[in-house]
Structure 1
Amino acid sequence: MNFFRLFPLAAATVLLGAAGSYAQTTPAWNNKQCAVVLTYDDAIDVDLDNVVPALDSVKLRGTFYLIGSSPVVAKRLPEWRRAAQRGHELGNHALMHPCDGSLPGRGFVTPDNDLSKYTVTRAVNEARANNTLLTAIDGKTARTFAYPCGDLTIGGVKFYDELKPDFVAARGVTSGLQTAAQVDLTNINAYMIHGQSGDYLVDLVKQAQASHTLLVFLFHGVGGGHGLNVDAKAHRQLLRYLKAHEKQIWVAPMVEVAQKISAAQQAPQKPR
Structure 2
Amino acid sequence: MNKMIAFFSIVCITILQFPAAFAQTAWKGKRAAVVITYDDAIDQHLDNALPVLDSLGLKATFYITAGSACVANRLQEWRRVASTGHELGNHALFHPCVGNTSGREWVPKEYDLSQYSIKRMQDELRMTNTFLHAIDGKKERTFAFTCGDMKIGDSLFLQGMQQDFVAARAVRHAIHPLHAIDVYNIDCYMVNNHSATSMKEWVDEAIEKQGLLVILFHGVGGGNNLDVSLLAHREFLSYLKQQEKQLWVAPLIEVAAFIKKQNEQ
Q: What amino acid is the match of 2:73? A: K
Q: CA deviation at 1:170?
A: 0.3
CA–CA separation in structure 2 for the residues paired with 1:236 and 1:219: 12
1:198 alignment partner, one of 196, 199, 204:
196
For this pair of structures, how many residues does the alignment match? Answer: 246
**1:155 aligned residue:** 153
Checking the alignment, whether the CA contact within 8 Å between 1:23 and 1:33 is kept in structure 2 is no
- Answer yes or no: is 1:75 the counterpart of 2:81: no
Within 5 Å, which residues of 2 pair with 1:40-119? 40-119=38-117
Aligned-partner residue type, residue 163 of structure 1: M
Question: SS of the counterpart of 1:35?
Answer: strand
- 1:98-119, CA deviations, whole angstroms, 9 ceiling, x for partnerless residues? 1011222110111110100000
Structure 2: distance between partners of 1:39 and 1:22: 29
- Looking at structure 2, the residues matched to 219 and 73 of structure 1 have their Cα atoms a distance apart, in angstroms, of 17
Paired with 1:83 and 1:189, the residues of 2 have a C-alpha distance of 25
Quote the Cα distance in structure 2 between the aligned partners of 1:26 and 1:97.
37
Out of 168, 175, 178, the position equivalent to 2:176 is 178
The aligned amino acid for 1:200 is S
TM-score between both structures, scaled by the size of structure 1: 0.88
Measured on the aligned residues, the alpha-carbon RMSD in Å equals 1.4
Percent identity, aligned pairs only, is 49
* AA at the equivalent of 2:168: A
Residue of structure 2 in register with 1:249 after alignment: 247
Post-superposition offset of 1:162: 2.5
Q: 2 CA distance for matches of 1:74 and 1:163?
A: 27
Counterparts of 1:188-227 in structure 2 under 5 Å? 188-227=186-225
1:241/1:22 CA distance change after superposition, 3 Å = farther
2:12 is matched with which residue? none
Shift of residue 131 of structure 1?
Answer: 0.4
Moved over 2 A (4+): 21-27
Question: C-alpha displacement at 1:210, in angstroms?
Answer: 1.0
Unaligned runs of 5+ in 2: 1-19
User: Could you tell me how far 1:141 is from its partner in structure 2?
Assistant: 1.0
2:126 aligns with: 128
Show structure 1 runs of 5+ residues with no match: 1-20, 268-272
TM-score (norm 2): 0.90
1:26 is matched by which residue type in structure 2? Answer: T
| 1:250-269 C-alpha deviation (Å, 9 max, x unpaired) | 000000001011111211xx
Which has more radius of gyration? Answer: 2
Residue in 1 that maps onto 2:227: 229
Q: Which residue of structure 2 lines up, in the alignment, with residue 264 of structure 1? A: 262
Corresponding residue for residue 26 of structure 1: 25
Shift of 1:23: 10
Aligned residue in 2 for 1:8: none
> How far, CA to CA, are the matches of 2:188 and 2:219 in structure 1?
16
- CA–CA distance in 1 between the matches of 2:85 and 2:257? 15
1:241 Cα deviation from its structure 2 partner = 1.0
